[in-house]
């Protein structure tokens, strides 16, 4: 209840109140002050109210001011509580019951106080209510405490409901009083299921002793942190927990927080296993591998490195030893290594090859240096060295071999050139005497045929025939030796046109033989076109020539393009070739038939091979004797 008045109207400047309670003795005043209690009285007949001094203080008013009339006093009551106060007073007046009410008042400075008031109604002999009197106690402080407590309970509840960690409140026997909501997710138990359970129900048997020990410490007042154990989840699986706990001495309640570190433990275990594997691999390596920090101190090394240091320098080195300043070795040797270490420490990755001078066995070593970065900074360097003596020797012998090969290639080139020159000169120069032989044989035949008998004439015929064949051979040889020597550069040519050129040249022969030529798709290619004409000429000619004569020759010519080359085929329906000869026929002067059977010099396919190889391609034949042959060749793009 709040009974007050407007401060402006009843200020300290006003005259002292005439209606201060008579009973307001010094003792009562002190008691009221101690209990923060004020008392009041309301004359129901006059509407006049009377307050104790402490009542004024509680309401933040000047005790020397006049007591306000009841309607104004009611204005001090918090607007939201006015109706409730009104109703309670009304009820007390009507029923005669004790008045008991808790409400807020708004003080002149705007602050709010909580009051709890109790009052009583006095009645006259006729039963008419004449007076209401009572006490009001300022309970603002208790209220504040209560609110604070409520707030902190709310915070705590929030923490219990939102934390990712596990929080337990446990009694001195280890039974859980309360568990955070996260327990459901981490342990699979609901909060209510955990209530009353104890750590004994959940802890892994292997961690039981240690947990009991840790609990003892906590109960003796030592707060514990970083204690780890395993709990069983509801589904029987295991979760790793990291605990911090403390004891509230007064309530003997243990407040414990646990973090689920299962993932961490598993990752660490996997990492450990990886590290173990890595060190096995490193130790199995025949190379020496080591790492050092920014101060040249050994961080880690494989067995081979430790062994080498022992064998070579008689130094039993271990992590932490300084590889530059901690070893008694020739200054220039150490200086050399320091320079390399410094380069790597400056962030460079590189390898060096050094001739081993310090080891008795000598040889070569390749040492690689690699900086290890952390957040952009070089924190260490890793080095590995390999004995490359064998590689070095091999490289050197390879170099020597290459020089020798280049020399013999040069020799071969020269002799090839000379041979070509010889073939050219020989065939060229042989033509003249051959022409003489042929023409003089012609003259002999013309002039002396009447004196020669049949045999003589036959000899002349053989001689002319031989000379003619020799001329063909010489011309073919000349052609063969010329391939690749022409200055003509490569140009794009339509192979269909080139084939047509050949067919035109052989028009008569084709007609005479009643041959059928089928031309499929033929691509444009980049080539020395005159040689490709020659190539098709030889293959088409052979196709027409190597026939049984029983049926008309048929030839199919096609070409296709792939990513790296063009491929052509010239197929015939001729006599075919036995499989054992399909390589041989490309060798110069290799013929499979007698000249009486099929004429020729045995150079045609050798010329084809040379032309194809000159174009970076291959030539081969597929054939079934009696059915025909397919000559294929490629031209490199």
Q: Which residues bind ligand ADP (CB under 6 A)?
A: 538, 542-543, 546, 572, 574-577, 585, 590-593, 600-606, 629
> In whole angstroms, how close is the CB of 483 to ligand ADP at the nearest point?
14
Question: Between 338 and 471, whose beta carbon lies closer to ligand ADP?
Answer: 471
The C-alpha angle with vertex 249 and arms to 244 and 254, in degrees rounded to 5, equals 35
Q: How far is the CB of 533 from ligand ADP (least distance, A)?
A: 16
Cβ distance to ligand ADP smaller for residue 384 or 480: 480
Question: Least distance (Å) from ligand ADP to the CB of residue 469?
Answer: 11
d(CA 66, CA 6) in angstroms, rounded, equals 10
Pairwise CA distance, residues 108 & 443, whole Å: 157
Contact criterion met (CB below 8 Å) for 249 and 256 = no
**Which residue number, 382 or 582, has a Cβ lying nearer to ligand ADP?**
582
Closest CA to 387 of 362, 404, 415: 362
Q: What is the DSSP string of 525-583?
A: EEE-HHHHHHHHHHHHHHHHHS--SSS--EEEEEEEE-SSEEEEEEEE-S----GGGTT
Q: How far is the CB of 629 from ligand ADP (least distance, A)?
A: 4
Q: Which is nearer to ligand ADP, 132 or 603 (CB)?
A: 603
Cα angle, residue 245 at apex, residues 242 and 247 outer, rounded to 5°: 170
The least CB distance from residue 539 to ligand ADP, in Å, is 7
CA 142 – CA 492 distance, rounded (Å): 106
In whole angstroms, the minimum distance from the beta carbon of 602 to ligand ADP comes to: 5
Alpha carbon 105 to chain centroid, angstroms? 68
Helices (H) and strands (E) in the chain, counts: 18, 22
Q: Which conformational region is residue 302 in: left (phi greater than 0), alpha (psi within -120 to 50 degrees), or beta?
A: beta
CB of 465 to ligand ADP, least distance (A): 16
Residue number, 323 or 570, with CB nearest to ligand ADP: 570
| Residue among 323 and 535 whose Cβ is closer to ligand ADP | 535
Q: What is the DSSP letter of 10?
A: T
Handedness of CA 48, 52, 56, 59 (dihedral sign): negative
SS3 232: strand
Query: For residue 5, how far is the Cα from the chain centroid?
Result: 77
- Shortest separation between residue 504's beta carbon and ligand ADP, angstroms: 21
- Phi, psi (5° rounding) for residue 572? -130, 170
- According to DSSP, the β-strands at 224-232 and 129-138 are unpaired
Query: With respect to ligand ADP, which residue has the nearer C-beta, 116 or 517?
Result: 517
Which residues are CB-contacts of 86 (< 8 A; sequence separation ≥ 6)? 74
Sign of CA dihedral 17, 23, 29, 32: negative
- Smaller CB separation from ligand ADP, 35 or 466: 466
Supply the minimum distance, in Å, between the C-beta of residue 455 and ligand ADP: 30
Least distance to ligand ADP, CB of residue 592, Å: 3
For ligand ADP, which is the closer residue by CB, 436 or 516?
516
* Nearest residue to ligand ADP, scored by beta-carbon proximity: 600
Q: Whose Cβ is closer to ligand ADP: residue 282's or residue 544's?
A: 544
């Amino acid at each position: 209840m709040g009974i007050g008045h407007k401060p402006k109207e009843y200020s300290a400047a006003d005259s002292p109140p005439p209606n201060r309670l008579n009973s307001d003795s010094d003792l009562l005043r002190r008691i009221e002050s101690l209990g923060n209690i004020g008392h009041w009285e309301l004359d129901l007949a006059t509407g006049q109210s009377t307050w104790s001094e402490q009542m004024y203080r509680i309401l933040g008013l000047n005790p020397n001011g006049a007591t306000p009339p009841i309607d104004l006093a009611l204005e001090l009551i918090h607007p939201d509580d006015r109706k409730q106060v009104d109703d309670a007073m009304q009820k007390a007046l009507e029923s005669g019951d004790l008045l008991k009410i808790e409400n807020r008042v708004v003080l002149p400075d705007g602050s709010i106080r909580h009051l709890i008031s109790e009052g009583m109604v006095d009645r006259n002999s006729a039963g008419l209510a004449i007076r209401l009197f009572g006490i009001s106690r300022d309970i603002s402080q208790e209220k504040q405490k209560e609110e604070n407590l409520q707030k902190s309970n709310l915070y705590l509840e929030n923490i219990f409901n939102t934390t990712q960690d596990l929080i337990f409140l446990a009694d001195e026997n280890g039974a859980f009083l309360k568990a955070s909501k996260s327990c459901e997710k981490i342990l699979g138990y609901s909060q209510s299921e955990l209530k009353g359970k104890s750590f004994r129900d959940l802890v892994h048997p292997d961690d039981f002793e240690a947990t009991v020990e840790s609990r003892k410490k906590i109960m003796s007042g030592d707060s514990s942190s970083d204690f780890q154990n395993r709990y069983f989840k509801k589904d029987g699986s295991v979760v790793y927990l990291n605990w911090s706990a403390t004891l509230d001495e007064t309530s003997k309640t243990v407040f414990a927080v646990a973090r689920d570190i299962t993932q961490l433990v598993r990752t660490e275990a996997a990492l450990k296993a990886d590290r173990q594997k890595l060190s096995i691999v490193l130790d199995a390596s025949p190379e020496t591998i080591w790492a050092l920090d920014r101060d040249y101190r050994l961080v880690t090394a494989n067995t081979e490195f430790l062994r080498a240091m022992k064998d070579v320098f008689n130094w039993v080195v271990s992590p932490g030893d300084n590889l530059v300043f901690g070893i008694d070795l020739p200054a220039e040797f150490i200086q050399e290594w320091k320079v390399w270490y410094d380069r790597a420490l400056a962030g460079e990755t590189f390898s060096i090859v050094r001739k081993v001078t310090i080891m008795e066995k000598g040889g070569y070593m390749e040492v690689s240096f690699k900086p290890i970065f952390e957040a952009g900074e070089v924190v260490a360097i890793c080095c590995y060295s390999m004995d490359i003596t064998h590689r070095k020797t091999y490289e050197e012998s390879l170099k020597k071999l290459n020089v020798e090969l280049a020399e013999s290639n040069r020799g071969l080139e020269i002799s090839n050139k000379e041979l070509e020159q010889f073939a050219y000169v020989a065939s060229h120069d042989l033509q003249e005497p051959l022409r003489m032989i042929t023409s003089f044989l012609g003259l002999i035949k013309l002039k002396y045929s009447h004196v020669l008998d049949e045999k003589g004439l036959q000899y002349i015929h053989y001689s002319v025939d031989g000379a003619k064949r020799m001329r063909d051979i010489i011309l073919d040889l000349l052609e063969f030796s010329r391939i690749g020597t022409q200055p003509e550069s490569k140009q794009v040519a339509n192979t269909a046109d080139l084939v047509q050129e050949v067919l035109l040249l052989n028009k008569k022969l084709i007609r005479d033989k009643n041959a059928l030529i089928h031309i499929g798709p033929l691509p444009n290619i980049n080539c020395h076109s005159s040689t490709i004409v020659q190539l098709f000429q030889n293959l088409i000619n052979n196709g027409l020539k190597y026939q049984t004569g029983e049926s008309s020759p048929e030839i199919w010519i096609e070409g296709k393009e792939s990513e790296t080359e063009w491929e052509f085929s010239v197929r015939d329906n001729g006599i075919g070739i036995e499989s054992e000869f399909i390589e041989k026929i490309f060798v110069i002067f290799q013929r499979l038939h007698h000249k009486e059977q099929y004429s020729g010099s045995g150079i045609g396919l050798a010329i084809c091979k040379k032309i194809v190889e000159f174009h970076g391609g291959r030539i081969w034949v597929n054939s079934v004797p009696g059915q025909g042959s397919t000559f294929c060749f490629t031209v490199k793009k």
